[in-house]
Structure 1
Amino acid sequence: MAIEHDYFGLLESGPDGSIFWSETVELGDQAVTVDLTAPDEDDVSQAALDVAAGMIASLEAIDRTSRNAMVSELDDRTSEVIEFILQQQESLGDDLEDYLVDISGDTHIDIIRSLRLISLTILADEHGGTEPFAVLEYGLDPDETDDVLLVNLNTDGDVQSVTSAD
C-alpha cells in the first residue's frame, strides 16, 4: 500500500507496514537530515503529513523556538541543558572555543548559539497525541552522535521537553 502527499510524494510502506521518508534540507550553511517515520501506515493521516510538511518548511522558526527553549532552561541548574553544557566544557576544555561561532563572554549562550541542528525526525503516527511528534537533534560536533541535545515538539510545534541523548 502507499500514501500520496503533495510534499512527500508517494510514501510506500515496507513489508512490515512501516513508512520511512528521508531528505537533506539546507538551513543556512547547515545540512539537516529530515526523516519521517511511522511503524504502521494505517496510523498516518493526511493531516499529520500536512503538519510535517509545514514543520519542514518552517524549520528556521522551529530551530529558533527550540534554541529559546534551551535558553529558558539555563535558570534551572539541574536542567539537562546545563548538564550538557557543563559536560561539553569538561570534555572539550580549551578546544571548546574551536566549536563556538561567536564568543560573547556568556559561554552558556555561546554554546547554544553554536549548536548545529543535525536532524529533525518526524514521528507521523504521533499526530495529536501526547508523545513527541517531532524531535530535533543538536550537537556541537555533528560527527559526535553521543553528545547531543534532543528537543521534543508536539503537533503544534510547541516544545514539550529538552533532553540529552543519555
Structure 2
Amino acid sequence: MAIEHDYFGLLESGPDGSIFWSEVVDFGDQTVTVDLTAPDQDDVSVEALDVAAAMISAIEDVDLRARNAMVSELDDRTSEVTEYILQQQEQLGEDLEAFLADISGDTHIDVIRSLQLVSMTILADEHGGTDPFAVLEYALDRDATDEVLLVNLAGDGSVQSVTSAD
C-alpha cells in the first residue's frame, strides 16, 4: 500500500507496513536532514502529513520556537540546556569561541545562537498523541553526534521538552 500526499509525494510502505521519507532541506547557510517515519502507515493520517509539511515549510519559525524554549530553561541551573552548555564549556575550554557564531559576552546565549539544527525527525503516527510528533536535534559541533540537545515538539508545534541525548 501507499499514501499519496501533495508535499511528500508517494509514500510507499515497506514489507512491514512502515513508511519512511527523507530529504535534506536548506536552512539559512546550513542543511538539515528531515526524516518522516511511522512504524505502521495505517496510523498516519492525511492531517498528520499536512502538519508535518507545514512544519518543514516553516522550519525557521519552528527553529526560533525551539531556541526560545532553550533560552527559557537557562534560569534553571539543573536544566538539560544549562548542563549541556556547561559541559561544552568544560570540554572545549578556550576553543569554545571557535564554535560561536556571535560573541555578545553572554556565553549561554551565544551557545544557543550558535547551535546548528542538524536534523528534524517527524514521527507521523504520533499526531494528536502525548508523545513527541517531531524531534529537532541541535549540536554545537555537527561532528559531535553524542553531544546534542533534542527539542521535542507536539503536533501543534509547541515545545514539549528539551533534553540531551545522554
Q: TM-score, normalised by structure 1?
A: 0.99
How far apart, CA to CA, are the structure 2 residues paired with 1:18 and 1:143? 29
**Is the aligned partner of 1:139 residue 2:131?**
no
Secondary structure of 1:81's match?
A: helix
How far apart, CA to CA, are the structure 2 residues paired with 1:65 and 1:71? 10
> 1:143 Cα shift?
1.1
Give the structure 2 partner of residue 61 of structure 1.
61
> 1:73 Cα shift?
0.2
Give the structure 2 partner of residue 31 of structure 1.
31
How far apart, CA to CA, are the structure 2 residues paired with 1:37 and 1:92? 35
**Equivalence map 1:1-80=2 (5 Å):** 1-80=1-80
Q: Which amino acid aligns with 1:74?
A: L
The runs of 5 or more residues in structure 1 that have no matched partner are: none
Count matched residues. 166
Give the structure 2 partner of residue 88 of structure 1.
88
Secondary structure of 1:129's match?
A: coil
How far apart, CA to CA, are the structure 2 residues paired with 1:69 and 1:92? 24
Q: Which amino acid aligns with 2:164?
A: S
CA RMSD of aligned residues (A): 0.3
Secondary structure of 2:141's match?
A: coil
How far apart, CA to CA, are the structure 2 residues paired with 1:64 and 1:122? 17
Give the structure 2 partner of residue 154 of structure 1.
154
**Is the aligned partner of 1:100 residue 2:100?**
yes
Q: Which amino acid aligns with 1:91?
A: Q
Q: Which amino acid aligns with 2:12?
A: E
Q: TM-score, normalised by structure 2?
A: 0.99
Identity of aligned residues (%): 79
> 1:58 Cα shift?
0.3
Where in structure 1 do 4 or more consecutive aligned residues deviate above 2 Å? Answer: none
How far apart, CA to CA, are the structure 1 residues paired with 2:58 and 2:20? 21
Q: Which amino acid aligns with 1:117?
A: L
Q: Which amino acid aligns with 1:106?
A: D
How far apart, CA to CA, are the structure 1 residues paired with 2:135 and 2:57? 15
> 1:34 Cα shift?
0.2
